[in-house]
Every structure is written in structure tokens, then in C-alpha cells.
Amino acid sequence: MAWAENNTLRIPRVTRPPKIEDFINGTPREAEVQVSDFRQFDPGDGAPVSQPTTAYLSYDDKHIYVAYVCRDDPEKIRARVTRRDALLSDDRVSIGIDTFHDHRRNYWFDVNPYGIQMDGITNNGVDDFDFDTLWYSWGRLTADGYVTLQAIPFKSLRFPGTPVQNWGIVLNRMIQRNKEMSCWPYVSRRLLPGWTSQFGELEGVENISPGRNLQFIPYGLFSRARFLNPLADVFDFRTENDARAGLDAKMVLKDALTLDMALNPDFSQVESDEPQVTINYYPVPGIQPFRGNSFEGSLGFTLRPGSQLRLDKTYIFSRLGTAERSSPAAAVGVAIFNNHILRSKLNYQFTRELSLRAIVDYNSVLPNSSLVSFDREKRLSADILLTYLLHPGTALHIGYTDSFENLEFSPSMSPRLRRTGFPDVSVGRQFFVKLSYLLRM
């Protein structure tokens, strides 16, 4: 076993990949470099890490490995079985790698005690959370803390095509109850915004290849939708089936240039769940168009009854009122319309890969009929999404949505569809299945 010297790690090459059981059971490994001199970045700049922490690093032809043995009171560890990239409130460990050693840009890979992943890129001190790549992680709670293991494929990194690599590296541990972040090597808040420039040196990585730097993600999508036809003479529903397939491709040229290609690209956002409201209104006859002042407020809370369950309640209120000299028919501040959104969202993470999301939304738009020609609209929708996410690019989504509005059909009146008091009429429902698969060369 080798130890870190000053701010330099010389990492050994192994022929047998380490396993997380090796570190839990104390089984001797083939070779590794050990790091234990972690220093706080927050809250005590330069103070020793508050809980014993040791990292072990090695590599082989395809991966770089980092294992953490973190001592702590199991009752005080904050960690959840949650979806990928949702770890900001969890205890976790991390490795940052500056593969071009330019002191400006680095990859980072975080993992919590359950092995849940979060990754990104930091560029000139700015974090990019949209970066997602393929890597492997394991995590296990133990009687005296937790142990994690990360295996990062060289195919998931971009680096110079030289026989000998010289990278920057930082190792981190986050302890949430202390609001603590500790690093090796010592990274000081006093030297910010220089983050990557304070990394240590990683040596010993030789004769590795990122492969052909080709990535393909074919996908297939099938949906069946049933929705109300507002132009029909009877209370009529239309049914449409949609089946399509496509391909996203990525190619890295000369280490730094990336070429993205798409065949029949998929623009659906099956996991997007942010409430959105768009309202167009028109003055009643006899009133000229006028300006309004808007106000918006929101209130919400989150419950976590267990490590796998999360409940979110959100209330959003929007109000548009008349502005000064905007309308001769109303005083300043009179409501043009009020909009209420009440949302309940449930997330249950069965395993690292399998999750269920359910959303119930109530949305009402209540206009001032003396100022605008706009009907009182009330909508109630339910959305269920089952996701099996093996890793970024390889996923199965199964979803169902049903929407209700405050409508009734009156064949003797014009228009035949008119608004009522309660959203109890189904106006549309959809079922879909989407499958994608990541291929890398």
C-alpha cells in the first residue's frame, strides 16, 4: 500500500478490480494508494475532518477506482434511497478530476452511503449539473459508518491522447449535520474563486484509452391518447396512436471537439414536472386593451416519512390587477384574474433504479367578468410515471395521465361546450411507453 505524499498521488495499476466487500471485510487488495489527511473547507477552513475518513485509489485498463471508508455514528448519517442527482442534502463523498490539468475545468462524481450517484462538471468555478455520464457505484451502511466504491470508465472521460497522463485531483467528504465539507488536498476558501487550481497531482496513470469516443442512444416511443374534440356536434372523443423511433449520437474528435447528431430527435420531457401557466386574456367589448400589474407567491413544504418516500405540497397564487391609467372602467389594483395552483407530488424510490412518481394538480383561473372575456377554468389532472433508470441513456418510462375540466355538453346551446362549477369531466388521457438504450464504442 502506498500513501499520499504532500499533494501528489501516485496511483497503482491493478489486474483485479476491487470490490466493496473487500473494504467492508478488511480483505487485502492487490494494490492501492491511501489518503486520510482530509482538511475542512467548511466550516473550519483547514481544520481536520471531524470524522475519520480514508480513501483508496487504483486503476486498471478500463476504470479508475476510488473507495471511501467513512467512520460515523450510523444514527446520525443523513442519506436516502433517492433518484439520481438528488443528493445535495445527503452525506456523501466525491472525486474531482481535472483530466487536461488546465486548472479550470474538472469532472466530479458524488455518491451517497446507498451508492446513489450525482455527477457534473465545474468550469471556471461554475457547476454544470446537466452533465450525465455512465459510471458505477456501490454503497453500504456499516456498524461504524459507511463504505462506498466508485468505478469510473475512461470511456466516460475526455483526456489527452498521450501515453502518460498528468491529472489534477481532489477528494471530498460532506457531513450534512455539521454543514461540513472536507477535502484532500487542503482546499482553502480564502483562495476562491480558484477551486480547480488547488487540486493535487495525480500521477501513475499510463497507457489508457477512452476508446473510439462514439456513443449511440436509440429510443422507441409508443403512446395512445384519448381527448375531447371541441369542434364536434356531439360529446365526442378522438383516439390517436403514435409510435416513433429515433437515434441520438455523439462523437468526440481530437479530445476536445464534440459532434452531436440526431435522427428523428425526441423532444418529449417525460420526467419534467414543473407547473406552468400561460393565460391569454382579452377585454370585454367596449373596453380598450389595458395594462396590468402582476403578483405571484408560493408556499410549499416537503415530508420525508422514510428514506425512500418523499411528499411535496405546493401552492402557487398569481394575480393580475389593473395598473395606473390602464382602464377607465376600473380603479387601480382591481383584480383582472386570480390563478390558483395546488399540487401534491409523491416520489417513491423502490431501488436505485426503480422509482414511482405521482402528481395531482388542481388549477383554477378566476377572471373578473366585468373586465375580461375569459371563462372560469378549473382543471384537475393526475399523472403517474414509473421509471427504471439503469444509467443515463438506458431507461424505461411508463406513464399515464388523466385530465378533467369544468365542462358540460349542451346540444341546444351555442357553444355546445360550456363551463360549469367543478372539473368532473374527463377531457383527455394518455398512456405511453418509452425505452432508450446507451451503446458506447
Q: Does residue 384 contact residue 399 with C-beta atoms inside 8 Å? A: yes
pLDDT tens digits along 220-243: 999 999 988 766 656 678 889 999
pLDDT value at residue 50: 95
Are 195 and 223 members of one domain? no
CA distance 298 to 279: 18
Query: Any residues with CB less than 8 A from the CB of 201 and at least 6 apart, and which?
Result: 7, 8, 9, 166, 167, 168, 169
| Residue 149 predicted with pLDDT over 90 | yes
pLDDT at 231: 63
For residues 84 and 175, membership in a common domain is answered with: yes
Asked if the structure places residue 260 within a domain, the reply is yes
315 within domain boundaries: yes
> Per-residue confidence at 7, pLDDT binned at 50, 70, 90?
confident
Whole-angstrom CA distances from 275 to 206, 315, 341 are: 50, 10, 8
| C-alpha span between 55 and 173 (Å, rounded) | 10
Whether residue 413 is predicted with pLDDT greater than 90 in this model: the reply is no
Residue whose grid cell is 406513464: 399
Q: What is the pLDDT of residue 433?
A: 94
How is residue 344 written as a grid cell?
A: 401534491
Assigned domain for 274 exists: yes
Phi, psi of 26 (to 5 degrees): 75, 25
Nearest of 199, 181, 149, 184 to residue 35 by alpha carbon: 184
Is the pLDDT at 278 greater than 60, yes or no?
no
Euclidean distance between CA atoms 354 and 213, whole angstroms: 29
Query: For residue 208, is it within any domain?
Result: no
Query: pLDDT-derived band of residue 143, with 50, 70 and 90 as boundaries?
Result: very high
Q: What is the pLDDT of residues 316-328, one digit of tens each?
A: 998 887 776 555 5
Residue bearing cell 444514527: 75
pLDDT one-digit tens code per residue, 67-122: 999 999 999 999 999 888 889 999 999 999 999 999 999 999 999 999 999 999 99
Owner of C-alpha cell 374527463: 426
| Model confidence band, residue 293 (pLDDT cutoffs 50, 70, 90) | confident
Does a structural domain hold residue 218? Answer: yes
pLDDT at 331 over 80: no
Give the number of other Cβ atoms within 10 Å of residue 376's Cβ. Answer: 14
Residue 142 sits in the same domain as residue 235: no
Give the structural domain span for 36: 2-203
Q: What distance in Å separates the CA atoms of residue 359 and residue 405, rounded to the nearest whole number?
A: 17
Band (pLDDT 50/70/90 cuts) for residue 376 is confident
Q: How far apart are CA 249 and CA 86, in angstroms?
A: 27
Q: What is the DSSP letter of 190?
A: G
How far apart (Å, rounded) are the C-alpha atoms in residues 139 and 352? 11
Residue 275 has pLDDT above 60, yes or no: no
Q: Quick one: cell of 24? A: 467492508
Classify residue 86 as exposed, middle or buried by CB count within 10 Å of its CB (0-12, 13-18, 19+).
middle
What residues contact residue 286 under an 8 Å CB cut-off, 6+ apart? Answer: none
Phi, psi (rounded to 5 degrees) for 338 = -115, 140
pLDDT confidence tier of residue 60, bands split at 50, 70 and 90: very high
Domain-ending residue, one of 169, 203, 237: 203
- Which pLDDT does position 289 carry in this prediction? 54
> Kindly report the CA angle at 333 between 327 and 336, in degrees rounded to 5?
65
Q: How would residue 379 be classed by pLDDT, with cut points 50, 70 and 90? A: very high
Question: In this structure, what are the phi and psi dihedrals at residue 282, rounded to the nearest 5 degrees?
Answer: -135, 140
Locate 336 and state its grid cell: 383582472
Residue 227 and residue 163 share a domain: no
Look at residue 353 and tell me whether its pLDDT is greater than 70.
yes
Whether 300 and 374 share a structural domain: yes
Measured distance CA(295)–CA(320) in Å, rounded? 6
Confidence of residue 381 (pLDDT cuts 50, 70, 90): very high
Q: Which is it for strands 167-175 and 136-142: parallel, antiparallel or unpaired?
A: unpaired
Indicate if the pLDDT at residue 424 is higher than 90: no
What pLDDT, on the 0 to 100 scale, is given for residue 283? 54
Phi and psi at residue 21, in whole multiples of 5°? Answer: -65, -30
pLDDT category at 26 given cuts 50, 70, 90 is: confident
Q: SS3 letters for 383-400?
A: EEEEEEEEECCEEEEEEE
pTM of this structure: 0.80
Taking CA atoms, 43 is separated from 21, 95, 170, 175, 182, in Å, by: 33, 20, 18, 11, 9
Question: Are 142 and 231 members of one domain?
Answer: no
pLDDT confidence bin for 369, thresholds 50/70/90: confident
Contact 262, 248 (CB under 8 A): yes
Q: What is the residue-wise DSSP string for 136-149? A: EEEEEEETTEEEEE
Tell me, yes or no, whether 155 and 271 share the same domain: no
Checking if the pLDDT of 412 tops 80, the result is no
CATH number at residue 22: 2.60.40.1190
The burial class, CB within 10 Å (0-12 / 13-18 / 19+), for 114 is buried
pLDDT score recorded for residue 14: 94
CA–CA separation, 143 vs 135, rounded Å?
A: 27
394 within a domain of the structure (yes/no): yes
The confidence score (pLDDT) of residue 330 equals 58
User: Does 70 share its domain with 145?
Assistant: yes
252 in a structural domain? yes
The single residue listed with the C-alpha cell 355546445 is 416
In a shared domain, residues 131 and 96: yes
β partners of residue 337: 320, 367
**Rounded to 5°, angle at Cα 185 from 180 and 186:** 55
**Cα–Cα distance for residue pair 262/390, rounded to 1 Å:** 22
311 and 371 both lie in a single domain: yes
Same structural domain, 331 and 426: yes
- Per-residue pLDDT, 12: 95
- pLDDT averaged over every residue in the chain: 86
Residue ending a domain, choose from 203, 229, 264: 203
pLDDT-above-70 percentage for the chain: 87
Question: How would residue 386 be classed by pLDDT, with cut points 50, 70 and 90?
Answer: very high
Pair (199, 219) in one structural domain: no
**pLDDT at residue 304 greater than cutoff 70:** yes
Range with the poorest average pLDDT among 24-28, 208-212, 251-255 = 251-255
Number of domains in the chain: 2
- The answer to whether position 209 is within a domain reads no
Binning pLDDT at 50, 70 and 90, where does residue 290 land?
low
203, 223, 246: which is the final residue of a domain?
A: 203
